[in-house]
Amino acid sequence: MKQKKVTFADIAAYTGFSKTTISRYFNNPDSLTLENQEKITHALDVLGYQENKLAKVLANGKSEFVGIIIPNLYLHYYSEMLNQLLSTYEKYNYKFLVFIGNNKKEIEEKYIHELMAYKIEGLIVLSNTISSEELASYKLPVVTIERECDHVCSVSTDNYLGGVQATSLLIRNNCDVILHINSIFSDTLPTYGRIQGFEDICNEHHITHELIQRNMGNTYQETLAQLKNIFNEIEEKYPAQKKGVFLANDTYASMFLNLIFQKYGKLPKDYQIVGFDDSPIASEAILPITTVGQQIEKIAQTAMELLVLQMNEMKKRKPTPLKEPVHKQITPVLIRRDTTE
């Protein structure tokens, strides 16, 4: 037989409380004593109550949804970050609506309006196309990860330290020339610290070095084609020198390592490779890759903590928004594997 749907009236009759009190239990539980909360919880178990999520959204405007806008998923850093963000459901019980921006501002703005229509309670943004000033104008709890963040809360890696760690290792390994391969982007972004750290340490130690910045494209195929060109240029320009190659992320590092193996069948002694982020591709590559670990799990957890802090404040009758955005910086950790000595 079909089970009868349990209503607030049923719960009220079972507990002896009014329907108003039952409603407060769902929408503002802190207004009830712990004893009364426990009585109602027990009644829900006995009666087999199943909460109507849609009705709750309509009643209080709180959806328990968080929006995520991410640039792409072909870079392993983003796919692992998304994995870690989604895993926070067990702790916070927030569900996620995810959109991939592909660096198109007008599309991402459309996504945000779509998310607002779903009554999201907060937003996590990893793409760089929409300014933090515009994000703040939506009057919604926002946390950005590794991007411009003047007007909203953020979490980022200490990219400068990471650049110093990677470059210093290649210097200690007695490389004749050190190269850094990265995409073209604004020096206002946190990730530019990797370039600054690389250049400062090379100049400090008077090491021959080259910064190679190119438009790396928005797909795996476009990036691979660009890296093939760069690899051929390096082979031609530095044929008899020990080359330390520091790449912007582990996806680039893995692709570059594959190009070396395709030509030599191994990693020659005149190549040292360091990636950045410690996404799973680094440890699972054809040769485990030395990398600067961004502690992706810690970044995701910190971002959710910061977002939940803001969302909980917004649920109060008289919320007090943050006076200034909160910015958290996570320390990177150098992880040595088989692509360096």
Per-residue pLDDT of 94-132, as tens digits, reads 999 999 988 889 999 999 998 888 889 999 999 999 999
**Cα–Cα separations (whole angstroms), residue 320 to 21, 61, 101, 308, 309:** 26, 18, 31, 14, 11
What 3 state SS string does 275-297 have?
EEECCHHHHHCCCCCEEEECCHH
Q: What is the pLDDT of residues 55-80, one digit of tens each?
A: 555 445 566 899 999 999 999 999 99
Q: What percent of the chain has pLDDT over 90?
A: 73
Q: Are strands 177-183 and 333-335 parallel, antiparallel or unpaired?
A: unpaired
Contact between 155 and 302 (Cβ < 8 Å): yes
The kind and range of the H/E element at 313 are helix 296-314
Q: pTM of the full predicted structure?
A: 0.81
Domains of the chain: 8-51 (1.10.260), 65-157+297-331 (3.40.50.2300), 159-295 (3.40.50.2300)
DSSP string spanning 131-197?
-HHHHHTT-S-EEEESS--TTSEEEEE-HHHHHHHHHHHHHHTT-SEEEEEEE---TTSTTHHHHHH
pLDDT at residue 209 above 70?
yes
Helix (H) or strand (E) holding 62: none
Q: Which two tokens stand for residue 150?
A: 């003047």
Q: Residue 137 pLDDT more than 90?
A: yes
